[in-house]
Chains A and B, each alone.
Chain A
Amino acid sequence: MVDNFALLLIHGLLALAGWRLMLRDDLDADPAPSPASTGEGESTRESRPRG
């Protein structure tokens, strides 16, 4: 009974994790860093003509 409960619970969670992973593109490639986090965004903003 206890064994079955543990198996059912963990396999349910593993299956859910597998499903969620399958739907995520960042599993195979990290998302491109946002411009703000690289510092390049600041230079872009700075170089944008004002007014």
Chain B
Amino acid sequence: MVDLFLTAFLLAFVALGIRRPFLWVLAYLYVDILAPQKISWMILSKVPVSMIVWMAAFGGWLLVDAKEHSRFTLRQVLLVLLLLWCGYTTLMADFPGDAVNKWSWVWKALLFAIFLPLTLRTRLRLEAAVLVMVLTVGAIIISGGMKTAMGGGGYGFLKLFVNDNSGLYEGSIISCVAIAVIPLIVWLMKHGTIFPPEWRVKTFAIALIFACCLMPVGTQARTGLLCIGLLGVLSLRTVKRRFLYLTLIGTLALVSVPFLPDSFRARMSTIENHQADESASTRIQVWQWTWDYVKDKPMGGGFFAYLGNKISYKTVKKDDSGGMTSIETQQITDQGRAYHSSYFEMLGEQGWPGFVLWALLQLSGLWQMERLRRRWLKRTGPGEQWQAPLATALQHAQLIYLLGSLFVGIAFQPFILMLIGLQCGLWSYLRRVEQPVGARLRAKPGPGLTPSGLKPLKPVDAAL
């Protein structure tokens, strides 16, 4: 039944694209985020859905869409360079077979991030892309949030649509992404035109934000809790009544603590007491190993280079039960442990060149969104209210991702690359719509033009 439903939906959405081919780009966003072919067991799972929708999206743009406003930005050049560099390191990889596996989806995600901004030529297209991304990831979040509220959560236990622990269906990744999309949900709630602000939209948005906040509880991913903390701090930049906001947040945090499951509180306490935790101890050792590894191989070892690591470490566990304190030390040897950090993932796999390209891509995004925010923040004209909040939302989403990236290996997560594509699209779009006025003002006064570049007014009296 679900299979038929998903197939019918996708066919209907693709059919709508015949009239508006941009809808095929949205269909690709949907397919890449939700992976309906993984949820389905019959029709969709046997068809190369992703490839078909990609060909429709790219073909529609290439053959039908207007291209006069499509611009290739500097950050897209960075993405191209990163793509080429990843291709090179895959050829030189320590573990060629495994590296090719990761390369098979990384190149597609990078290529789509390069392509997406070319299609985002209008304000409505930008909004539509944000909406489809938020709604699609919202399906996973609503399901996870409801199960958490009903007591079905737990580290590694929360069952989402797909149980293969890959992509957005991995606990730490979805909890980081769920928090990162909250600023975008708020933007859609206030500035949406597809679903304009009204009580039903606001109710849905608030419920979705609540579900987002439940994801770190349901997955018991510590990263998510840190991301919520950062979101709280970042929101101080945008809220009008800061004191009221802080009071509300503080009260909400205090009230929610008794409702949190014991297992969640126990796991979160290991953020402080990381020595007792195997997962946290492993990370520090793997990061040390990676640092030493790039000293020997500054060009990186290609995807899955971490398979070559062998680490040995001690965990220290303190037990205060029964009025006595006992300390238990355990020696653990492990090998082939993943990076659990995007920064070290880039460093180990892509070496310094890849790391620098990736860091430039991220930093330039933060800088561009800040510039847009400042340029549009004080404008009060009609149609000039949505730009600064969208730039801010995309910047905050990226900052939350960058914090989550400290502890999760999501350097090439397609959803995040889509966010980067959105940033490039917004930057390119706003520069274009601003250009006519700016260019006119900068233009040298020619014959019949005033220094401002505008045609002189006809003398009113002469026209009488």
| Chain A residues packing against B (C-beta within 8 Å) | 2-11, 13-15, 17-22, 24, 26-30, 34, 37-40, 43, 46-47, 49-51
Contact A5 B146 (CB under 8 A): yes
Contact B66 A18 (CB under 8 A): no
Contact A21 B20 (CB under 8 A): yes
Interface string of B205-235 (1 = CB under 8 A from A): 0000000000000000000000000000000
Q: Which of A11, A14, A26, A39 contacts B123 (CB 8 A)?
A: A26
Known: A7-B161, A18-B13, A26-B122. 20 other contacts (CB 8 A): A2-B146, A3-B143, A6-B143, A9-B139, A11-B5, A11-B9, A14-B30, A17-B195, A18-B12, A18-B26, A21-B128, A22-B23, A24-B124, A27-B22, A28-B66, A29-B66, A37-B382, A38-B437, A43-B457, A49-B464
The 4 closest A-B pairs by CB, nearest first: A10-B139, A6-B143, A6-B142, A49-B463
What's the nearest-Cβ distance from chain B to residue A33, in Å? Answer: 8
B202 within 8 A of A: no
Q: How many Å lie between the Cα of A14 and that of B454 in the bound state?
A: 45
Interface residues of B in 415-460 (CB under 8 A from A): 433, 437, 454-455, 457-458, 460
Contact B142 A14 (CB under 8 A): no
Q: How many Å lie between the Cα of A46 and that of B150 in the bound state?
A: 66
Interface residues on B, range: 35 or more
Q: How many Å lie between the Cα of A7 and that of B30 in the bound state?
A: 12
Q: How many Å lie between the Cα of A31 and that of B170 in the bound state?
A: 42
Residues on B with C-beta less than 8 A from A46 are 457, 460
B135 within 8 A of A: yes
Residues on B with C-beta less than 8 A from A37 are 381-383
Closest to A43 in B: B457
Contact A10 B20 (CB under 8 A): no
B138 within 8 A of A: yes
Contact A39 B454 (CB under 8 A): yes
Residues on B with C-beta less than 8 A from A19 are 16
Contact B128 A27 (CB under 8 A): yes
- Highest count of chain B CB atoms <10 Å: which of A5, A22, A38, A51: A22
Closest to A48 in B: B463
Contact A47 B136 (CB under 8 A): no
Q: Which of A29, A30, A50 contacts B433 (CB 8 A)?
A: A30
Residues on B with C-beta less than 8 A from A40 are 454
Q: How many Å lie between the Cα of A15 and that of B5 in the bound state?
A: 12
